[in-house]
């Protein structure tokens, strides 16, 4: 995709987007609502026309090709199975349009259903299936036509948490098995980090960063990425000679060229560790525990420092010894940190996912 | 309520039983209300129809039974100057088929297209489709007179009535189809079909219409009901359909029994046809479901 733009009236949904997906790669587009990720997918599928730019798949320019001629398999957020057809007929629908013979059609439909583990449901109607099963059939249907690119538009958002995690892993397994180039759109960062080869974080119609999940999380390119992906503490500090001093801790900077002066450091909760239980009377990182959120192996502890609150992600064993109200001293691990570009810039807080 | 509490009955069971008793009482009252309402309204609708049927079977003497009036309406032939009833039935049936076919071919794709591609036109479409409802048939006839004068130059067939019948049936068919279309997620279904390679024609014929089949059937039934019962427009435009034919038969006889038998016949005719149509639709649904 090169220089893709799309406007809806005065709203710019997509602003000169450039994106290249390698063959067999799974790229996840992540971003808040209205960032242009679904628009990107719909332009690619041909469900909407682009204002400027071009889309090339395998060397062929498909920018002005109608959706029906694009050879893209798509799974939608809403349940999109044809209610009047059985599961098998749904999967075979694309093949029927391509005039594949009945026997071959049937064989391939069953093969796809086997891939998603739903052969036993072949003769059922969509309303007889659960939400997760319906989305698996939709995936089988999209794959049955052997498309060049698979497009997944928030396919898991209508499902409950457990099914979502299962199906997410299944989608990744199938994608690797089939080796199909895939573009996956989601607003769920956990989902994105879990299955992507590369994650593209989008904001206001632009791509902020496109990198492997680990890099997006540990070396976010912008403060928006840092705040959108994972939780972040915003702590005021001062940059001096390529180093940042925050509440008595000296931390290295991701970008050593950061000019000297006041800055806001973006510190991950897991970089905040426990210094001691026997907290001194006062100190820059001494405060009162106001909440402990149990997350399983780790717990998130929110500490009131008097002039600010800080979140620390601690092993649950440590966190249980810290009931709300107890005094605690914290320290910050000297990982390279990113500073927010100007403390007055309003960076939207990440949407918290359940 | 039992006066003696049996051994082992917990105190809690007593209010529970009282509640169950109250529920049963409420249900009985509700049932009684239902039967009364059903009977009153049933009589209100059925009595005139039954009376009509009874009068059509009245013999020469008061209080006797006879089929004479029924035999009489089928005995008319064209040699007496009155067109035969059979040809009127034929014309009306043909009109029903043509009207419903034109209606579906015209309205279904248009509605789907507007829903999927030009949503901003939906209001205008609704207004246009419901407009005929607000115009009395007699006013319509006055307006249509000159147009049908021109049509009469081309064809004298009563089948030409289908033009105006399509307009008359439009509001009913539109409402039925709109309800069916809004019950399905037409946008997602069509996008899914298109991404699988379906042309717009395939999207409409293979995906959308099969999922609003009930609505299509309802539109069909309403269109048929309108065509089978239409009298005013046909009569004033001087065409002969079943209703006009039955009217002229009853006008040309001094026998009151014939008037009633023709009315009953026309009612039965429409009733049986609509029953068949809805039965066919139900069977189709049963096979699918």
Positive or negative, the CA dihedral A108, A111, A115, A116 is positive
CATH class of B80-288: mainly alpha
Lowest mean pLDDT among A154-158, A207-211, A281-285: A281-285
Residue A341: what pLDDT? 56
- Torsion (CA) A342, A11, A153, A215 in degrees, nearest 10: -20
Q: Do B197 and A84 touch (CB under 8 A)?
A: no
Distance CA A76, CA A82 (A): 13
Q: Span A112-140, mean pLDDT?
A: 92
Say yes or no: B43 contacts chain A, CB-CB below 8 A. Answer: no
Residue A122 DSSP one-character state: T
Distance CA A334, CA B17 (A): 71
Q: Span A68-84, mean pLDDT?
A: 91
Among residues A269, A261, A241, A283, the alpha carbon closest in space to that of A332 is found at: A269
Distance CA A211, CA A213 (A): 6
Determine the distance in angstroms separating the CA of A46 from the nearest CA of chain B, rounded to an integer.
8
pLDDT at A94 over 70: yes
8 Å CB contact between A79 and A70: no
Among B189, B197, B210, pick the best mutation site for testing chain A contact (most A Cβ within 10 A).
Answer: B197
Determine the distance in angstroms separating the CA of A223 from the nearest CA of chain B, rounded to an integer.
36
Residue of B nearest to A126 (CA): B289
pTM of the complete model: 0.76
Q: List, for residues B45-88, the tens digit of each pLDDT value.
A: 999 888 888 888 887 777 788 888 787 777 666 555 555 677 88
Q: Do B192 and A69 touch (CB under 8 A)?
A: no
Residue of higher predicted confidence among B72 and A120: A120
Beta bridge partners of A246: A249
Option in B188, B197, B288 nearest A145 (CB): B197
Residue of A nearest to B190 (CA): A80
Beta bridge partners of A6: A14
Distance CA A36, CA B10 (A): 65
* Residue bearing tokens 């071959």: A104
Q: List, for residues B17-43, the tens digit of each pLDDT value.
A: 667 777 888 899 999 999 999 999 999
8 Å CB contact between B137 and B232: yes
3-state secondary structure of A57: strand
In the stretch 210-249 of chain B, residues with CB closer than 8 A to chain A read 210-211, 213
ipTM: 0.79
Distance CA B249, CA B253 (A): 7
Residue of A nearest to B185 (CA): A80
Q: Label residue B286 by pLDDT band (50, 70, 90).
A: low
Enumerate the residues of chain B whose CB falls inside 8 A of the CB of residue A45. Answer: 191, 195
pLDDT at B9 over 50: no
Q: Do B198 and A68 touch (CB under 8 A)?
A: yes
Q: List, for residues A31-55, the tens digit of each pLDDT value.
A: 988 888 899 999 999 998 888 888 9
DSSP H/E element including B194: helix B186-195
Distance CA A330, CA A327 (A): 10
Say yes or no: A108 contacts chain B, CB-CB below 8 A. Answer: no
8 Å CB contact between A329 and A285: yes
Say yes or no: B194 contacts chain A, CB-CB below 8 A. Answer: yes
Distance CA A102, CA A94 (A): 12
8 Å CB contact between A272 and A330: yes
Q: Do B194 and A47 touch (CB under 8 A)?
A: yes
Enumerate the residues of chain A whose CB falls inside 8 A of the CB of residue B287. Answer: none
Token pair of B113 as six digits: 């297209």
Determine the distance in angstroms separating the CA of B200 from the nearest CA of chain A, rounded to an integer.
9
Residue of B nearest to A138 (CA): B192
CA B68 to chain centre: 31
DSSP H/E element including A183: strand A181-186
């Amino acid at each position: 995709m090169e220089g893709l733009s799309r406007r809806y009236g005065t709203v710019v949904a997509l602003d000169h987007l450039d994106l290249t997906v390698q063959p067999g790669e799974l790229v996840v587009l992540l971003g808040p609502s209205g960032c242009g990720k679904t628009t990107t997918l719909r332009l690619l599928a041909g469900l909407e026309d682009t204002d400027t730019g071009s889309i090339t798949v395998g060397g062929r320019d498909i920018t002005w090709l109608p959706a029906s001629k694009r050879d893209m398999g798509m799974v939608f957020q809403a349940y999109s199975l044809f209610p009047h057809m059985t599961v098998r007929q749904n999967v075979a629908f694309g093949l029927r349009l391509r005039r594949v013979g009945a026997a071959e059609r049937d064989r391939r439909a069953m093969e796809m259903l086997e891939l998603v583990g739903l052969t036993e449901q072949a003769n059922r109607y969509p309303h007889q299936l659960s939400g997760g099963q319906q989305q698996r059939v939709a995936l089988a249907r999209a794959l049955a036509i052997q498309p060049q690119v698979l497009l997944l538009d928030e396919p898991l958002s209508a499902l409950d948490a457990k099914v979502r995690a299962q199906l997410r892993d299944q989608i990744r397994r199938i994608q690797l098995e089939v080796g199909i180039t895939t573009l996956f759109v989601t607003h769920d960062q956990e989902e994105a980090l879990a299955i992507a080869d590369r994650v593209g974080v989008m904001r206001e119609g632009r791509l902020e960063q496109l990198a492997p999940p680990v890099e997006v999380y540990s070396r976010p390119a912008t403060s928006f990425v840092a705040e959108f992906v994972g939780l972040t503490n915003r702590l005021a500090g001062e940059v001096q000679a390529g180093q940042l001093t925050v509440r008595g801790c000296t931390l290295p900077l991701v970008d050593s060229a950061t000019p000297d002066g006041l800055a806001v450091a973006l510190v991950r909760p897991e970089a905040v560790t426990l210094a001691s239980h026997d907290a001194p009377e006062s100190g820059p990182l001494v405060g009162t525990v106001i909440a402990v959120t149990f997350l399983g192996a780790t717990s998130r502890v929110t500490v009131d420092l008097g002039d600010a609150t800080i979140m620390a992600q601690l092993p649950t064993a440590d966190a249980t010894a810290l009931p709300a109200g107890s005094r605690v001293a914290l320290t910050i691990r000297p990982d390279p940190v990113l500073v927010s570009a100007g403390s007055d810039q309003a960076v939207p807080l990440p949407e918290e996912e359940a | 309520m039992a006066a003696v509490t049996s051994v082992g009955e917990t105190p809690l069971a007593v209010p529970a039983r009282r509640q169950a008793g109250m529920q049963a009482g409420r249900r009985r009252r509700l049932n009684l209300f239902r039967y009364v309402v059903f009977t009153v309204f049933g009589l209100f609708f059925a009595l005139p129809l039954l009376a009509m049927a009874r009068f059509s079977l009245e013999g020469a003497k008061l209080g006797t039974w006879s089929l004479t009036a029924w035999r009489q309406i089928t005995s008319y032939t064209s040699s007496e100057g009155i067109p035969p009833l059979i040809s009127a039935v034929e014309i009306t049936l043909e009109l029903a088929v043509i009207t419903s076919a034109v209606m579906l071919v015209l309205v279904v794709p248009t509605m789907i297209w507007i829903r999927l591609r030009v949503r901003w036109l939906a209001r205008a479409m609704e207004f246009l489709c419901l407009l005929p409802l607000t115009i009395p048939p007699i006013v319509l006839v006055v307006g249509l007179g000159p147009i049908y004068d021109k049509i009469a130059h081309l064809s004298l067939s009563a089948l030409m009535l289908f033009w105006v019948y399509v307009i008359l049936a439009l509001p009913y068919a539109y409402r039925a189809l709109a309800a069916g279309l809004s019950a399905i997620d037409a946008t997602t279904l069509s996008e899914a079909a298109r991404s699988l390679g379906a042309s717009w024609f395939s999207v409409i014929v293979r995906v959308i219409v099969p999922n609003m089949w009930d609505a299509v059937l309802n539109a069909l039934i309403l269109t048929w009901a309108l065509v089978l019962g239409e009298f005013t427009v046909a009569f004033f435009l001087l065409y002969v359909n079943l209703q006009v034919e039955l009217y002229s038969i009853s006008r040309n006889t001094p026998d009151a029994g014939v008037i009633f038998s023709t009315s009953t016949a026309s009612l039965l005719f429409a009733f049986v046809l609509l029953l068949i149509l809805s039965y066919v639709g139900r069977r189709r649904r049963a096979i699918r479901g």
